Chain A
Amino acid sequence: MARIAPSVLRRYLFGGQLPAGGCLRQPRYCRSAAPSLSTKRYHGTQAPDTSTDSALSETTIPFRKQLKDEAKKRKAEGTGKKSKQNNQKLENWELTVGIEIHAQLNTERKLFSAASSSINDVPNSHVAFFDVAMPGSQPIFQKETLIPALRAALALNCEIQKTSRFDRKHYFHWDQPAGYQITQYYEPFARDGYITLYAHDGIAAEDGDEVRIGIKQIQMEQDTAKTISQPGDIHLLDFNRVGLPLIEIITLPQIHHPSTAAALVRKIQIILNAVDACVLGMQSGGLRADVNVSVRRRNSSSSSPNSYGGVTNLGQRTEIKNLSSFKAVEDAIIAERDRQIDLLEAGGVIEGETRGWTIGSTETKRLRGKEGEVDYRYMPDPDLAPVVIGDDLVSHLKNTLGILPDQDINILVEDYGLTTKDAMSLLSLNDGGTAEYFRNVVEEYLFLSPEEDLEKVGKLCGNWVLHEMGGLTHDLADEENPLKMTSSGSCLIPASELAQLLHYLSTDKITGRTAKKVLAELFASGLYTRGHTTNSVIYREGWWFTPLSELEYEGLAKEVLDANGKVVDEILAGKQGKVNFLVGQMMRGDQDGRVDASKARERVMKLIDALKG
């Protein structure tokens, strides 16, 4: 999800100008100018919104208030009535959801041919004989595809099966030349895993602090060709994608709330990306989810024959396909649950059918009924040898997975003193690059001042990297990534310079306000590649903090007292509280933040006493 640059927002809200980039995505910027409640949950993808708020709050306070009021209003009218209804229903009915995720593996070649894997390349340019089922062609298992597959299975805590086999799943479709898909139905390569979801992943409140969803199995299978449908029932086929390796992750039906389902899909995407198993996300079509939904009455004594993966007594399930975003997953589950409950309460019977969901609709649509249910006639593929995975390979991959996202968050929260929300925001930006940058800055800072407490330093640097730097904007800068942060943690402002700046700030060599100005200068310097350093900027502008001299305090205090004679009289009459007002006036007059509040108060008291006497 793109970040909205404050300049764009400013131009729209105050000038009514839409960005003239000319590309389709612009309307989305404007529509989401006032963040809705749901954005609060998706820390990773929506985090930049909070930085926009804070950046603008300095320039125009009423705007922030305006956003808050709008959000409150929307909450009051939007979900109020519905949530009451929902609560009633949910007291009687329990929802059960199982999810099947198909994710494209990050490999050099396809699964059963040596053709190279590609994304959006020239159509039909990476096709081997076997991919289009040329008579006489044979599958040749590309063993390198095992590496990302095994990593995915290990990251999801599965047990790797030493021997696994391939099966054929038969059905006819123009995007599958062979008439069958090669998958692993009977003997998948990984079984019995689990994934733990925490409150900060966005699970439903009813699920508490953490919930563990079991994974039944993970199997390798082929992808199908890409179809571009045109009007007139014409379909254009690009066979580059056919035969690409996919993994299918099948969860146990242990999910009971829609937001938990969406959180699971999101977290699986994050984990797969972290272990380099699947690097394309739902947005680019590299990860697809199919959802199975059923409901059953709570506290019911009757039993039903439906069960899956050891979970018994389930209601009849329907499958929802064509879900292309996390929000779609959540919305579709809610719509389907409500539909099923309404149908059952009216005395109807749920049919085991396949349904589809389009974004923006209120109900799922039936795609395929039971009569159209396809019999896949699974059979072991005799052309392919069993896959035997060596123990040395599994243990090597297990030991070199690297630090996974949950552990990453723990390190940032426990060692660096960040809040969970901030930690997640940091990690989600620029493919982990911002988090890397943050840690570099902390490292540099500790070079300058090794004695300081890591948590304090972490909090300071975290605040600046996330919020202050997040609010930087410039006409020349790219809107999506103004600081040009790379995934390895380098950007337009070198970590050492920021660390130096923050060190000066915390040792009171410069004031907070000045620090922000220096930051802007460093940003500009980076954009124009002038190569200025923190030191050179401060020296050049003369921004070193010089505290006010005694004389200057005297002068300022006298000014304030002279200007507020009435208040002085009130104080002399006995109202001591009004002293604060005078101190406040002194601070107001100070543009550079050079006035120290306690010193100012001292001065004022001295002068008042002199007047008394």
Chain B
Amino acid sequence: MSGFICSRCRASLQRVMHNQKRSINRSVREYSTKPRRANLIDINALLSKSTWSVRSLLPDPNAPPSEEITPAKLHHLLRLSALPLPTSPKEEAEMLKTLHSQLHFVKDIQKVDTEGVEPLQSIRDETEEGVKDITIGMEELKEAFEKEEIEGRNRRPRRRRVEVVDTNEVEDWDVLGTAGEKVELAGGQYFVVRSGKE
């Protein structure tokens, strides 16, 4: 066969090729960067309207605050945090309102489904290597073991007591300089704290 194709086959081949060419042209046109006039987006108009506002996380200012935080509970929370209690009903109402709105925000966050997710405590290297780095084994405590002696028939280890421990200058600062009130007695200097009602 020396490249002889019958006229019928040639026609169908031509039809296929023609179709392919047309579809290539069409898709190229679709992916083209040149925008079509009809689909042009107005950036300024788009950005002028907000689709989300943090206000959605705030409680409706017109709706009355829910009763779940009672004044008693507020006082309890303030006492736990060593904060001063409100001095007037107006101040108390303000505090309750603020607390209420904060809780509303928290409730929104709680809507996220965290089923099966371990709470993150801090960002650390949790790879095998990372864990091996912080593992405390015999090597890390070599020095401490050298400071021990085995005593008696019972072979019990006992820490040797040193007269002065090398504290790396951690203790060398004026501790009592931070005292609001201090006193010096026979033994040494102490911080003074008063507990009576004023």
**Are the chains A and B members of one assembly?**
yes
Q: Which A residues form the contact surface with B (CB < 8 A)?
A: 106-109, 113-117, 122-129, 132, 134, 143-144, 146-148, 165, 170, 172, 174, 179, 228, 232-239, 274-276, 374-375, 377, 380, 382-383, 385-393, 396, 400-403, 408, 432, 436, 439, 487-489
Q: Please indicate the chain B residues that have their CB under 8 angstroms from the CB of A146 in the complex.
A: 136, 141
Shortest Cβ distance from A443 into B: residue: B153
Shortest Cβ distance from A402 into B: residue: B156
Q: Please indicate the chain B residues that have their CB under 8 angstroms from the CB of A126 in the complex.
A: 167, 171
Q: Are B195 and A233 in contact (CB under 8 A)?
A: yes
Smallest beta-carbon distance B98→chain A, Å = 20
Q: Are B134 and A375 in contact (CB under 8 A)?
A: no
Q: Please indicate the chain B residues that have their CB under 8 angstroms from the CB of A375 in the complex.
A: 80
Interface size on B, residues (CB 8 A): 48
The 8 closest A-B pairs by CB, nearest first: A390-B137, A233-B196, A402-B156, A116-B165, A236-B190, A403-B154, A123-B188, A237-B191
Shortest Cβ distance from B190 into A: residue: A236
Shortest Cβ distance from B165 into A: residue: A116
Q: Please indicate the chain A residues that have their CB under 8 angstroms from the CB of B151 in the complex.
A: 487-488
Q: Which B residues form the contact surface with A (CB < 8 A)?
A: 80, 82, 121-122, 124, 131, 134-138, 140-141, 144-145, 147, 150-159, 162, 165, 167-168, 170-171, 173, 175-176, 178, 183, 185, 187-196
Shortest Cβ distance from B82 into A: residue: A172
Given contacts A108-B159, A124-B176, A233-B195, contact A393 B141 (CB under 8 A): yes
Q: Please indicate the chain B residues that have their CB under 8 angstroms from the CB of A172 in the complex.
A: 82
CA distance A396 to B196 in the complex (A): 53
- Greatest chain A CB density within 10 A among B131, B156, B188, B189 is at B156
Q: Please indicate the chain B residues that have their CB under 8 angstroms from the CB of A382 in the complex.
A: 121-122
Q: Are B158 and A236 in contact (CB under 8 A)?
A: no
CA distance A233 to B197 in the complex (A): 9
Mind listing 28 A-B residue pairs with CB under 8 Å? Answer: A107-B159, A114-B167, A114-B168, A115-B170, A116-B165, A116-B167, A123-B188, A124-B191, A125-B188, A128-B171, A132-B178, A146-B136, A172-B82, A235-B194, A237-B191, A274-B156, A276-B157, A385-B124, A385-B134, A387-B136, A388-B131, A388-B136, A391-B137, A392-B137, A400-B157, A403-B153, A432-B154, A436-B152
Q: Are A374 and B80 in contact (CB under 8 A)?
A: yes
Smallest beta-carbon distance A350→chain B, Å = 23
Does more than half of chain A's interface fall in helix, strand or loop, or is it mixed? loop
Q: Please indicate the chain A residues that have their CB under 8 angstroms from the CB of B131 in the complex.
A: 388
Contact with B165, one of A108, A113, A488 (Cβ below 8 angstroms): A108
